[in-house]
Amino acid sequence: MSRLDHRLEPAGPVRRLEVISGAMGRRRWSVDDRARIVEETLAPGAVVSVVARRHGLTPQQLFTWRRQARKQADTLPAFVPAVIVPEPTAAPPAKPPRERASRAVSRRRVAVIAIDVAGVKVTIENGASAATVAAVIRALKGGG
């Protein structure tokens, strides 16, 4: 047996055989393919060498693509998503528990008229006469 024979024959059974035929130069990966492969390496728990092997790349080539993608991302403007949230409305105050039913019945609600014109707030409480209310409204209108 010559020295050359042992290099051509594998020692054990062959699990995978890849036949490359034709003139082959450098592989050309599209930008989308590169981005997809780099994105696979960014998944939690992903191993770069495993992803590279799956796509027929060397880990060094894949690390170069990742570095290029990181540099390109640094040159792009960074935007932060804006989220518009409605203003929280104030919850109505909690009513204290009733002490006695007779007391609650005896309370009367107070009627209030609040008028806000050009930053001036006028409050007319319960018990004001109709003439007083009319006079206030006339004064606010400027009719004197």
- Which pLDDT tens digit goes with each residue over 20-78? 665 555 678 899 999 999 999 999 999 999 999 999 899 999 999 999 999 988 887 76
Amino acid 123: pLDDT: 79
Question: Measured between alpha carbons, how far is 37 from 55 in angstroms, rounded to an integer?
Answer: 8
Mean pLDDT of 105-130: 70
Residue 7 tokens, joined: 């290099």
pLDDT reported for residue 87: 72
Closest CA to 41 of 22, 15, 80, 67: 67
Model-wide pTM > 0.75: no
Read off the tokens for 62: 């894949």
**Is the pLDDT score of 132 beyond 90?**
no
- Residue 43 pLDDT: 92
Residue 126 corresponds to which tokens in the numbers above?
């319960």
Task: Tell me which of 33-37, 52-56, 83-87, 123-127 is least confident.
Answer: 83-87
Q: What does DSSP assign to residue 45?
A: T
**Average pLDDT of the chain to the nearest whole number:** 76
Q: What is the pLDDT of residue 36?
A: 94
Residue 134 and residue 141: Cα distance in Å, rounded?
A: 11
Q: What pLDDT, on the 0 to 100 scale, is given for residue 101?
A: 55
